[in-house]
């Protein structure tokens, strides 16, 4: 008997794609009737720090109190855009917007409202990379807020909960030894292994979507193996382990991770304060600091190709097999979506043999 469930993309953005892939892969176990996600994109896409809420959009479909569906025509108010509306055509289920403005308490109320609307029996929290397991002291941990708040709210909702982790280590944050220890501690069980057929319907998403971890999971499922350099100089090994999907004990993770300190929060500001108390800064602080850095904008030109060629050659000598396209965009100094898209188009014309989105082969 299958469990009727809502799949929750813990980190927002590209996690929606993986949540959709897992919904299809595990359909004999779970009948997923909707997917929920934050709208929280990289600054090159949406230059507003932090996640966007219901009030930041035009074109949402309001189903009932606290439940808003993202449509293909939905648009952000103000600068930037959300990657959620363009994903709608690729999804077999409705896509619902998570609004974290009222902290874990408010988000838990949203989960309960959605569960009543769709008459579901459980929640499935999907994390790509594994940083939802983080306890807060890990040196490489950079962006725990979204995942930790999602888990805290899911526990607070008191709905039956399953936590799935895919693409272990592909986000370049916790080390593989750290992740293996945490998985073992939380009673990890392998529940699936992704292959090319599982990701075929979403392969073209990476022609435009900036998510690195989710894109790397898809190329791993397609069979690609090698060393990949991602943004901010992170080096990730794509091995057979990347395609394994793990289920962990939800209550155990919530009790020993950063989620434990967020369960009673009633605002996003309070969530930030709790994260700062543990780590000295929040993910949103990091975005604010990047925006205030006033980096020089460099519009991509044909000359940019020479710089990329030199960097790619040097990377190959270091044993790197590919850069993520997001890394190439970072190296080229493209600061907004238009420049990023212009560089993608330029590379597709000038270096088609290197382009395997989300990878740029060196």
Q: Check whether residue 58 and residue 168 sit in a common domain.
A: yes
Q: What is the pLDDT, as a whole number, of residue 296?
A: 67
User: Does a structural domain hold residue 287?
Assistant: no
For the segment 197-245, what is each residue's pLDDT rounded down to a tens digit? 999 999 999 999 999 999 999 999 999 999 999 998 899 999 999 999 9
Domain range spanning residue 346?
A: 302-361
For residues 297-315, average pLDDT: 89
Residue 245 and residue 160 in one domain: yes
Whether residues 126 and 180 share a domain: the answer is yes
Q: How far apart are CA 129 and CA 147, in angstroms?
A: 11
**Same-domain status, 247 and 306:** no
Is there a single domain that holds both residue 191 and residue 306?
no
Asked whether residue 1 carries a pLDDT value surpassing 90, the answer given is no
The runs of H, that is alpha helices, within 36-157 are 84-87, 103-118, 145-156
Among candidate residues 252, 270, 288, the one where a domain is terminated: 270
Is residue 153 within 8 Å of residue 107, measured between CB atoms?
Answer: yes
Q: Do 348 and 211 share a domain, yes or no?
A: no
Alpha helix (H) residue ranges in 262-301: 268-279, 283-291
CB 134 within 8 Å of CB 175: no
Confidence class of residue 349 from pLDDT cuts 50, 70 and 90? very high
pLDDT band at 336 (very low <50, low <70, confident <90, very high): confident
Torsion sign across C-alpha atoms 75, 77, 80, 83: negative
* Mean pLDDT confidence for 274-287: 96
**Bridge pairing between strands 3-9 and 122-128:** parallel
| Confidence at residue 288, expressed as pLDDT on a 0 to 100 scale | 96
For residues 110 and 237, state if they share a domain: yes
Asked whether the predicted pLDDT for residue 294 surpasses 80, the reply is no
Contact 5, 124 (CB under 8 A): yes
- In this structure, the answer to whether residues 42 and 144 fall within a common structural domain is yes
pLDDT number for residue 301: 80
Quickly state the pLDDT bin for 303 (edges 50, 70, 90): confident
Q: What's the pLDDT tens digit per position in 111-130?
A: 999 999 999 999 999 999 99
Average pLDDT over residues 159-165: 98
Report the candidate in 248, 233, 230, 226 with the shortest Cα–Cα distance to residue 126. Answer: 248
> How far is CA 253 from each of CA 182, 263, 280, 282, rounded to the nearest angstrom?
9, 13, 22, 20
Q: Do 181 and 253 fall within a single domain?
A: yes
Residue 270 falls in which region: left (phi positive, over 0), alpha (psi -120 to 50) or beta: alpha
Give a yes or no: residue 7 inside a domain: yes
Same structural domain, 197 and 309: no
Residues 162 and 243 in one domain: yes
Q: Tell me if 285 is assigned to some domain.
A: no
Q: How many domains does one find in the chain?
A: 2
Domain end point (choices 270, 291, 310) = 270
Please report which confidence band the pLDDT of residue 293 belongs to, taking 50, 70 and 90 as the band edges.
confident
pLDDT by residue (tens digit) across 80-101? Answer: 999 999 999 999 999 999 999 9
pTM: predicted TM-score of the whole model, two decimal places: 0.96
What is the arithmetic mean of pLDDT over 30-47? 96
């Amino acid at each position: 008997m299958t469990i009727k469930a809502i799949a929750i993309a813990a980190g927002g953005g590209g996690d929606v794609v993986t949540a959709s892939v897992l919904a299809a892969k595990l359909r004999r176990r779970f009948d997923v009737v909707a997917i929920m996600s934050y709208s929280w994109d990289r600054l090159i896409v949406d230059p507003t720090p932090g996640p966007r809420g219901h009030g930041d959009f035009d074109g949402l479909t309001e189903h009932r109190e606290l439940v808003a569906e993202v449509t293909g025509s939905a648009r952000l108010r103000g600068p930037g855009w959300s990657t959620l509306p363009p994903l709608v055509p690729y999804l077999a289920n409705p896509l619902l917007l998570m609004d974290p403005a009222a902290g874990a308490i408010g988000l838990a109320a949203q989960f309960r409202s959605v569960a009543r609307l769709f008459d579901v029996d459980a929640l499935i929290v999907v994390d790509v990379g594994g940083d939802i397991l983080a306890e807060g002291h890990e040196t490489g941990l950079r962006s725990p807020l979204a995942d930790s708040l999602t888990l805290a709210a899911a526990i607070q909702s008191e709905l039956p909960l399953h936590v799935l982790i895919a693409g272990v280590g592909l986000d370049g944050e916790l080390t593989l030894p750290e992740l293996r220890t945490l998985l073992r501690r939380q009673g990890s069980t392998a529940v699936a292994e992704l292959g090319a057929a599982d990701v075929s319907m979403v392969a073209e998403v990476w022609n435009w979507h900036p998510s690195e971890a989710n894109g790397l999971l898809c190329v791993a499922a397609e069979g690609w193996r090698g060393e990949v350099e991602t943004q901010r100089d992170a080096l990730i090994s794509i091995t057979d382990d990347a395609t394994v999907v793990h289920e962990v004990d939800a209550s155990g993770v919530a009790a020993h991770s950063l989620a434990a300190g967020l369960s009673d929060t009633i605002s996003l500001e309070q969530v930030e304060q709790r994260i700062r108390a543990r780590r000295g800064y929040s993910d949103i602080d990091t975005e604010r600091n990047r925006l205030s850095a006033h980096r020089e904008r460099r519009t991509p030109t044909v000359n940019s190709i020479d710089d990329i060629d030199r960097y790619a050659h040097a990377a190959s000598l270091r044993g790197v097999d590919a850069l993520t396209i997001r890394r190439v965009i970072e190296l080229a100094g493209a600061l907004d979506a238009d420049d990023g898209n212009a560089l993608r188009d330029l590379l597709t014309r000038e270096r088609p043999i290197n382009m395997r989105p989300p990878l740029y082969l060196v």
